[in-house]
């Protein structure tokens, strides 16, 4: 493996109290933020509600959209950009109101009605940017611009073909948005009479609905409970695995305490920077749990090896030696992962900001917790004196995985 540090000899444990105090400060600041805000700011996934993904023909003015939503009684809705700036994409979220099944779609309808009012989209005309192929076919059959009323089967087939050509052109060639009816005159197979009729009977809204997500309050509550259960089971599984692997529960306890510390700090900073707690963030937290524990296991594994090889070395010095020996690996793994998620944070778009922020914070906190939180716990719990004293021999036996010094290959009776 590439070595960034040649024979490093840093006294990491000398700074343990500085990092422990810093961790307590971060945890307390996060706890105060959560308390002042009444808990995490749950996303639509957990609290229930509606998310409408929109694309606009021009760069949208969020203040103008917010003012329109306020006038329609949707002042609590959230508005945020996502994707590339040139795509003019926006997410509007509204909280779920009511518990009946009929209320599940009310948020979507209210948001779309508010947008039509805000952007003055005529209600009595076809909105060609938000109409599907089936609805457009039915409208063309009613309008009958090319006079096929006397041939029902021919009319249904022909108008269906025209509707497919128009919607395909809109979605593939114009990114879902038509700016003018004149664009349809270049579409092969669309008669001028159809374009003239649509120009008279239709309209082109300056936005198109790309996707709609609706989550009921009951589903949101279940998702919240399942997220907490998944995180708890992950921590419990790590505790059992590490305890069995190292034959001593102090290792598993130290790793879980350090990981729990990482999760608490990350949750606090998410609240402090006003990020939503949604399924993307849960995925980031679970990724953080795995990353942090993996980094801790590497350090613990080297400690166990050195205990067997350097039986006369003071345990605290041995732990420092082990951390130094894994330093190059830690910096390479954590550093490259950090650069990756940092790129995701700046270039991944608004939708992935919460996930990327969780990983950016988690990698930094998880890396130093393996050194300054997990390792001091092991030292404080199993600190031997010198090998040669009964206490030191017993401690060495525990740390080496249940074998006495010089008893390699022979199990305890």
pLDDT band at 103 (very low <50, low <70, confident <90, very high): low
Tell me, what's the pLDDT at 386? 38
Contact between 169 and 217 (Cβ < 8 Å): no
- For the stretch 64-92, pLDDT in tens is 898 888 888 887 788 888 777 788 899 88
Tell me, what's the pLDDT at 181? 92
Assign 82 to helix, strand or coil: strand
- For the stretch 281-305, pLDDT in tens is 988 988 988 888 888 888 998 988 8
Contact between 131 and 208 (Cβ < 8 Å): no
Average the pLDDT over each of 139-148, 162-171, 313-322, 402-411 and give the range with the smallest value.
402-411
What is the DSSP pairing of strand 89-95 with strand 49-56?
antiparallel
Tell me, what's the pLDDT at 4? 66
pLDDT at 97 over 70: no
Phi, psi of 290 (to 5 degrees): -65, -40
Tell me, what's the pLDDT at 198? 93
* pLDDT average, residue stretch 161-190: 92
Tell me, what's the pLDDT at 390? 45
pLDDT band at 404 (very low <50, low <70, confident <90, very high): very low
For the chain, give every domain's residue range: 12-42+216-399, 49-121+205-215, 132-176+183-203
| Residues in contact with 194: Cβ distance below 8 Å, sequence separation at least 6, in sequence order | 140, 145, 146, 162, 184
Two tokens, residue 141: 């059959």
Contact between 307 and 385 (Cβ < 8 Å): no
- For the stretch 239-249, pLDDT in tens is 788 778 777 78
Two tokens, residue 305: 């090896």
Burial class of 346 by CB neighbour count within 10 A (0 to 12, 13 to 18, 19+): exposed
pLDDT at 112 over 80: yes
Two tokens, residue 86: 């040139």
Sheet with 78-82, strands from edge to edge, namely 78-82, 89-95, 49-56, 207-215
pLDDT band at 387 (very low <50, low <70, confident <90, very high): very low
pLDDT at 410 over 50: no
User: Average per-residue pLDDT in the chain?
Assistant: 83
pLDDT at 217 over 80: no
pLDDT at 332 over 80: yes
Question: Could you give the C-alpha distances from 271 to 292, 336, 357, in angstroms and in order?
Answer: 21, 26, 12
Burial class of 257 by CB neighbour count within 10 A (0 to 12, 13 to 18, 19+): middle
Contact between 272 and 344 (Cβ < 8 Å): no
CA separation for the pair 372, 238 (Å, rounded): 19
pLDDT band at 397 (very low <50, low <70, confident <90, very high): low
The C-alpha torsion from 269 through 46 and 112 to 178, rounded to 10°, is 70
Phi, psi of 127 (to 5 degrees): -90, 100
> 90: part of which helix (H) or strand (E)?
strand 89-95
Phi, psi of 92 (to 5 degrees): -115, 125
CATH level 3 topology of 49-121+205-215: Alpha-Beta Plaits (3.30.70)
pLDDT band at 231 (very low <50, low <70, confident <90, very high): confident
User: Radius of gyration (Cα) for the chain, nearest Å?
Assistant: 31
pLDDT at 265 over 50: yes
Question: Could you give the C-alpha distances from 315 to 251, 262, 308, 319, in angstroms and in order?
Answer: 15, 26, 11, 6
- For the stretch 179-213, pLDDT in tens is 999 999 989 889 999 999 999 999 999 999 888 87
Q: Measured in Å, how far apart are the chain's first and last C-alpha atoms?
A: 40
Pairwise pLDDT comparison (8 vs 357), residue with the higher score:
357
Percent of residues, the chain, with pLDDT higher than 70: 87
- For the stretch 15-66, pLDDT in tens is 999 999 999 999 999 999 999 998 888 877 777 778 888 999 888 888 889 8
Can you give the pTM of this predicted structure?
A: 0.67
Percent of residues, the chain, with pLDDT higher than 90: 37
Tokens 């509606």 sit on residue: 50
CA contacts within 13 A on the Cβ side of 99:
2
Burial class of 102 by CB neighbour count within 10 A (0 to 12, 13 to 18, 19+): exposed
Pairwise pLDDT comparison (228 vs 409), residue with the higher score:
228
CATH level 3 topology of 12-42+216-399: Multidrug efflux transporter AcrB transmembrane fold (1.20.1640)
């Amino acid at each position: 493996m590439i070595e960034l540090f040649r024979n490093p000899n840093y006294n990491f444990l000398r700074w343990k109290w500085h990092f422990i105090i810093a961790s307590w400060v971060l945890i307390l600041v996060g706890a105060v933020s959560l308390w002042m805000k009444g808990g995490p700011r749950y996303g639509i996934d957990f609290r229930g509600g509606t998310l409408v993904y929109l694309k606009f023909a021009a760069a949208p003015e969020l203040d103008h959209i917010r003012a329109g939503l306020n006038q329609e009684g949707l002042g609590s809705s959230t508005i945020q950009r996502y994707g590339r700036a040139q795509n003019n994409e926006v997410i509007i979220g509204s909280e779920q109101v009511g518990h009946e099944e009929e209320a599940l779609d009310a948020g979507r309808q209210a948001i779309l009605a508010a947008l039509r009012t805000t952007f003055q989209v005529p209600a009595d005309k076809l909105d060609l940017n938000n109409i599907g192929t089936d609805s457009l076919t039915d409208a063309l059959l009613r309008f009958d611009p090319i006079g096929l009323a006397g041939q029902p089967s021919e009319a249904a087939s022909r108008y269906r073909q025209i509707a497919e050509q128009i919607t395909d052109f809109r979605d593939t060639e114009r990114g879902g948005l038509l700016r003018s009816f004149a664009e349809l005159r270049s579409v092969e197979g669309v008669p001028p009479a159809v374009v003239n009729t649509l120009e008279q009977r239709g309209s082109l809204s300056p936005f198109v609905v790309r996707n709609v997500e609706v989550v009921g309050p009951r589903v949101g509550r279940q998702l919240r409970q399942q997220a907490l259960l998944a995180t708890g089971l992950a921590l419990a599984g790590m505790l059992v695995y590490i305890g069995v692997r190292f034959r001593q529960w102090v290792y598993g306890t130290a790793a879980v305490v350090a990981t729990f510390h990482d999760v608490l700090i990350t949750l606090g900073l998410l609240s402090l920077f006003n990020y939503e707690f949604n399924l993307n963030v849960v995925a980031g937290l679970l990724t953080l749990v795995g990353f942090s524990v993996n980094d801790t296991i590497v350090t613990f594994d080297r400690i166990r090896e050195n205990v067997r090889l350097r039986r006369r070395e003071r345990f605290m010095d041995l732990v420092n030696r082990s951390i130094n020996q894994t330093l190059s690996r830690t910096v390479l793994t954590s550093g490259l992962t950090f650069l990756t998620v940092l790129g995701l944070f700046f270039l991944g778009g608004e939708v992935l900001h919460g996930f990327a922020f969780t990983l950016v914070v988690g990698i930094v906190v998880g890396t130093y917790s393996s050194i300054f939180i997990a390792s001091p716990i092991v030292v404080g719990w199993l600190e031997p004196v010198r090998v040669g004293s009964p206490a030191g021999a017993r401690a060495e036996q525990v740390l080496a995985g249940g074998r006495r010094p010089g008893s390699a290959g022979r199990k305890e009776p």
